[in-house]
Amino acid sequence: MPPLRNLAARDVETLVHPYVDLAAFRETGPLVIERGQGVYVYDSDGKPYIEGMAGLWCTALGYGNEELVEAATAQMRKLSFAHLFTGRSHDPAIELAEKLKEIAPVPISKVLFCASGSEANDSQVKLVWYLNNALGRPAKKKFIGRIKGYHGVTLGAASITGLVNNHRDFDLPLPGFLHAGCPHHYRFAQPGESEPEFATRLAAELDALIANEGPDTVAAFVAEPVMGAGGVIVPPETYFEKVMAVCAKYDVFMISDEVICGFGRLGTAFGCQRLGFRPHAISIAKALSSAYLPIAGVMIPEIVYQALLAESRKIGVFAHGFTYGGHPVSAAVALKALEIYARDQIFEKAAARSPQFQARLKALDRHPLVGEARGVGLVGGLELVADKAAKRSFEPRHGVGARAVLFAEAEGLIVRTVLGDVLTLCPPLVISAAEIDELFDRLTRALDKTLDWVRRERLAQM
Ligand SMILES: Cc1ncc(COP(=O)(O)O)c(C=O)c1O
C-alpha cells in the first residue's frame, strides 16, 4: 500500500467527487478526514476541526458514539442482511417503522424505507403518480418544487430541485416538473414588502402557476421547511399557512422534505412542527441514523397506502423498492439513534442551545462582508456580499465563499459554501455552549481574514 501522505495524490487519480469544480480540484486536492470524536474531526495530519456542518447536515449525535457502534455491531452479528422484498421481513425494520409512526407529526399509515434522501424523494414522485392513477385521475401528475429547493440528484429528486447546477447539461428537469418562487425575503421581496405581504404574493404566484397549468394536471408540491443546500433560507412569516391553503384549494398533495430539518435540527422533532404546517407525506434520511449508516424513508398517509392496495388488486405486485431499503443494520442504528434522541432529550437541548447559536450567528450581520445572517434552531447561513447597502453579490468567479471556507479550515472549522457565497452552518445537535462559542470565534477570525483578502485583491470597496 502506498504511504499515507500520498492519499491526496491518489485521491485525485481515482475519485470523482460530488459538488466540486472537478477542474480546479485537480490543483487543490482533497481535505482528507481520518477520524472523529464528539463535534471534532481530524485530518490525515492529525489537525482537529469543529465539524460545523455535521458532515452533510447529518451527524446529529456527533462522532464516536459508542452506543450506535454497539447497536450496529450487535445487529451485524445477529443478522447482517435481510430484505423486505417478496413478503420477507425483519424486526429492526418493523420496530423502526412503528417508532416513526409514533413520533410522526401527522397521521402516518406506513413507512417505505430506502437508503438516501434522493431515493426517498424519487419514491415520493412514483407513489404520487401511482396514487393518482389509482384514483382515476391520470392527468394529475405534475410536481412543483421551488427555486433554490434541494431534494437530491436522482432523476425525480433532481427535477424537483430548483438549483441551476443540478439541471444544466444534465438535461433536467424532466417534463412535468415546475418551480415556484423562492421564499427568501432578503433577496426576492419587493422594496417595502413585509414578510407576510411577501408570503401572500408567493402564495398568489403559486395559485396562478397551478391555475395556468390546470389544477387537474398538478399533483404535488414539495418543500423543505427551511431550505438547506439552497443557502439556509428561512421562509417569511405566514408562508406555509398561505401555500398550504393553495395546495388544499387545488387538491395538491404536499410533501415535506425533512431530510435536513427532521430529527431536531430546528429544535422540534420535525421541521414542519416548527414552521407550523401539516404535510400529507414526509421524506426522512440523514439524522434518522445520525448518519452512522445510510437509511432513509418515505412516511405515507393512509390515502396513499389505500391507493397502493387498490393498484395491487388491479395489477398485482407493487414493483418498487431498494435492496438496501430498511437494511437491518441501518435500521438497528436508527432505532438506537431515536432512543438516544428521546432519552437524552436531544431535540429539547438543541432548542435550548438555539438562542445562543442564533445570537452569535446574527451578531455577524455587523461584519462588513455579511449581507444577511439567518437561521433557525441549530442551522444558519451567512450571505457574503460585495456591497451591503445594495445587497450586491461578489462575482462568482472570485470564489469569495470558497476562500472563506479555506480560511475557516485554517482556523480549524469546517463550514460549507453554497451558490451565491452563502456560508452554511449546521453543527451536530450535541454541540455544547462552549463549543458554540469556539465555533463562532473561529468563524469570525476566518471572516476577518477573508475581508483582508477581499481588500488586498480589490474585489470590493470596503
Ligand atoms: C433536503 C434534502 N433532500 C434530499 C437530499 C438528498 O439526500 P441524499 O444526498 O441522501 O440523496 C438532501 C441532501 O442534502 C437534502 O438536503
Closest approach atom of ligand 1 to CA 116? 10
Pocket lining for ligand 1, CB < 6 angstroms: 56-57, 116-118, 121, 150-152, 224, 228-229, 257, 259-260, 285
Distances (CA, A) of 144 to 207, 259, 309, 401: 11, 18, 26, 30
Closest approach atom of ligand 1 to CA 294? 10
The rounded Å distance from CA 144 to ligand 1 centre is 17
Cα–Cα distance between 134 and 127 in angstroms, integer? 10
The rounded Å distance from CA 40 to ligand 1 centre is 23
Helix or strand (DSSP H, E) at 379: strand 379-384
Q: What is the predicted pLDDT for the residue at 86?
A: 96
pTM: 0.97
Give the largest CA-CA distance in the chain.
70
71 Cβ partners below 8 Å, 6+ apart?
332, 333, 335, 336
The rounded Å distance from CA 294 to ligand 1 centre is 12
Instruction: From 255, 260, 298, 330, give the residue whose CB has the most ligand 1 atoms within 8 Å, as the site to mutate.
Output: 260
Cα–Cα distance between 205 and 183 in angstroms, integer? 11
Cα–Cα distance between 436 and 353 in angstroms, integer? 9
CB 359 within 8 A of CB 436: no
Q: Which of 318, 280, 313 is nearest to 299 (CA)?
A: 280
Residue spans of the chain under pLDDT 50: 1-4
Tens-place pLDDT, residues 228-244: 999 999 999 999 999 99
Closest approach atom of ligand 1 to CA 153? 11
The rounded Å distance from CA 333 to ligand 1 centre is 19
- H helix and E strand count, the chain: 16, 15
Cα–Cα distance between 248 and 225 in angstroms, integer? 18
Tens-place pLDDT, residues 382-416: 999 999 999 999 999 999 999 999 999 999 999 99
The identity of residue 204, as a single letter, is: A
Instruction: From 154, 233, 286, give the residue whose CB has the most ligand 1 atoms within 8 Å, as the site to mutate.
Output: 286
Q: Which of 20, 60, 74, 64 is nearest to 41 (CA)?
A: 64
